[in-house]
Amino acid sequence: MSAKIIDGKQIASDIRNELKAEVEKLKTKNIVPGLGVILVGTDAASISYVTAKEKACADIGIYSDDNRLNENTSEKDLLALIDKMNKDPKINGILVQLPLPKHIDEEKVLLAIDPVKDVDGFHPVSIGKMVTGQKAFISCTPHGVLQLLIRSGVKLEGAEVVIVGRSNIVGKPLANLLMQKSDMGNATVTVCHTRTKDIASHTKRADIVIAAAGRPNTITADMIKAGAAVIDVGINRVEDATKKRGYRLIGDVDFENVSKKAGFITPVPGGVGPMTITMLLYNTVESAKIANGLV
Ligand code: GUN
């Protein structure tokens, strides 16, 4: 058997087209969703993320207020900019690109963002609401994973889901969302991590395996059940002299062999990756609707 490839680029493009139509409709009511983006420093990966976010906003008609700050920007100045954005009615969502330089307290910065503009879903208020099943901004990568599964027709209700990885931004929120009594949940969830005794004993009985460990070959073919859906959240750089940039990107899953046994699988790149920014756009449009009393 050969797995159906879940095409993240296509699904992301479908959602972006839906959002574009929605933004056009909002514009007829004189509502323009706005995203404030803050990047501190010159980290190459962060610059490329932020550039992609700005372009994605422009593509679907979201106003974006782009702020690229010097590496030496003080915490006080950063907090002042966030405060200004909190008060700016043109801004519906605020995104501070992580990681921040070492002299800035990340926790303090995330807490400074008004939860009504927390389109990253990183604020403890957003997380608390999400865990207790209240309406909240869902952080973008977990939300993207759920959309990939739902839009590929993978049934979540009653499914045995095993998540490998317990990070605050992927494993933990995904586990909470999947166990919720909701259309995006109703699954039975197990979370494996570095101290799990026998990861394979869990993944082998899973209908859905989500790999978010940040380590290549975390999931191999002998670890999954035939026909399982396998979602790969990992992005790992491996040296590759045949590439101009000297490396290529691989996930946490042994794609070549797992794809021969799984029922569904996401590639890396082109799986979860394109969904993260898409769900950020989704949250920004939602926030604009909430701010204008439309939901
Ligand atoms: N750095 C890497 N990914 C992300 C993300 O989704 N949001 C923010 N704010 N920073 C990131």
Give the whole-angstrom CA distance, residue 10 versus residue 18.
Answer: 12
Could you give the C-alpha distances from 218 to 143, 163, 209, 253, in angstroms and in order?
Answer: 22, 12, 11, 6
| DSSP-derived secondary structure letter, 219 | B
| Residue that terminates a domain, selected from 82, 115, 148 | 115
Ligand 1, pocket-test mutation among 51, 106, 120, 233, most atoms within 8 A of CB: 120
CATH classification at residue 152 = 3.40.50.720
206 Cα: distance to centroid of ligand 1 (angstroms): 29
Please tell me what DSSP assigns to residue 221.
G
Considering the chain, what percentage of its residues have pLDDT values greater than 70? Answer: 100
The alpha carbon of 141 and the centre of ligand 1 are apart by a number of angstroms equal to 9
Q: Which amino acid is at 249?
A: L
Q: Is the pLDDT of residue 71 over 90?
A: yes
Q: In this predicted structure, what is the pLDDT of residue 272? A: 98
Confidence of residue 183 (pLDDT cuts 50, 70, 90): very high
How long is the chain? 295
Q: How far is CA 83 from the centre of its chain?
A: 25
Asked if residues 229 and 264 have their Cβ atoms less than 8 Å apart, the reply is yes
Tell me, yes or no, whether 108 and 148 share the same domain: no
Q: Are residues 107 and 149 in the same domain?
A: no
Q: Do 89 and 179 reside in the same domain of the chain?
A: no
pLDDT of 238: 94
Whose CA is closest to atom 2 on ligand 1?
98
Does the residue 73 lie in any domain?
A: yes
pLDDT at position 20 over 90: yes
Residue 4 in tokens: 């159906």
**Does residue 187 sit in the same domain as residue 259?**
yes
CA 225 to ligand 1 centroid distance, Å: 32
- CA 53–ligand 1 middle distance (angstroms): 10
pLDDT tens track for 223-251: 999 999 999 999 999 999 999 999 999 99
Mean pLDDT for the stretch of residues 93-121: 98
On whether both 88 and 175 belong to a single domain, the answer is no
Chain mean position to CA 294: 25
Identify the three-state secondary structure at position 210. Answer: strand
Say yes or no: 153 and 261 in one domain. Answer: yes
Q: Atom 8 of ligand 1 has which residue's CA nearest to it?
A: 97
Question: Residue whose CA is closest, atom 1 of ligand 1?
Answer: 98
- 81 pLDDT band, cuts 50/70/90, is very high
Question: Per the structure, how many domains does the chain have?
Answer: 2
For ligand 1, whether the C-beta of 52 sits within 6 Å is: no
Please check whether residue 120 lies inside any domain of the structure: no
CA distance 273 to 231: 11
Question: How does residue 170 score in pLDDT terms, banded at 50, 70 and 90?
Answer: very high
Per-residue confidence band for 76, with pLDDT thresholds at 50, 70 and 90: very high
Q: Is residue 278 part of a domain?
A: no
Structure-derived torsion over alpha carbons of residues 101, 53, 208, 158, reported in degrees to the nearest 10? 110
250 plus 170 within the same structural domain = yes
Whole-number pLDDT of residue 198: 98
Q: Is residue 231 assigned to a domain?
A: yes
Asked if residue 295 is part of any domain, the answer here is no
Measured distance CA(284)–CA(94) in Å, rounded: 9
Contact of 157 with 187, CB cutoff 8 Å: yes
Is the C-beta atom of 39 inside 6 A of ligand 1?
Answer: no
Pair 169, 254 in one domain: yes
If asked whether residues 78 and 192 sit together in one domain, one would say no
pLDDT in tens, 239-284: 999 999 999 999 999 999 999 999 999 999 999 999 999 999 999 9
Residue 162 scores a pLDDT above 80:
yes
CB atoms within 10 A of CB 48: 10
Residue 270: the pLDDT is 97
Kindly state whether residues 51 and 85 are assigned to the same domain.
yes
38: helix, coil or strand?
strand
Identify the domain containing residue 49 by its residue range. 31-115
Q: What is the pLDDT of residue 53?
A: 96
Check whether residue 148 and residue 249 sit in a common domain: yes
Domain presence at residue 100 = yes
Ligand 1 atom closest to the CA of 99, numbered from 1:
1
Rounded Cα distance between 92 and 65, Å, is 11
CB atoms < 10 A from the CB of 291, how many?
18
Question: pTM score > 0.85 for this model?
Answer: yes
User: What's the mean per-residue pLDDT of the chain?
Assistant: 97
Dihedral sign of CA atoms 282, 288, 291, 295 in order: negative
Atom of ligand 1 nearest to the CA of 96: 9
- Please state, in angstroms and rounded to a whole number, the distance separating the CA atoms of residues 177 and 191: 13
Residue 1 above 90 pLDDT? no
Pocket test for ligand 1, best of 35, 40, 48, 49 (most atoms within 8 A of CB): 49
The pLDDT value recorded for residue 219 is 98
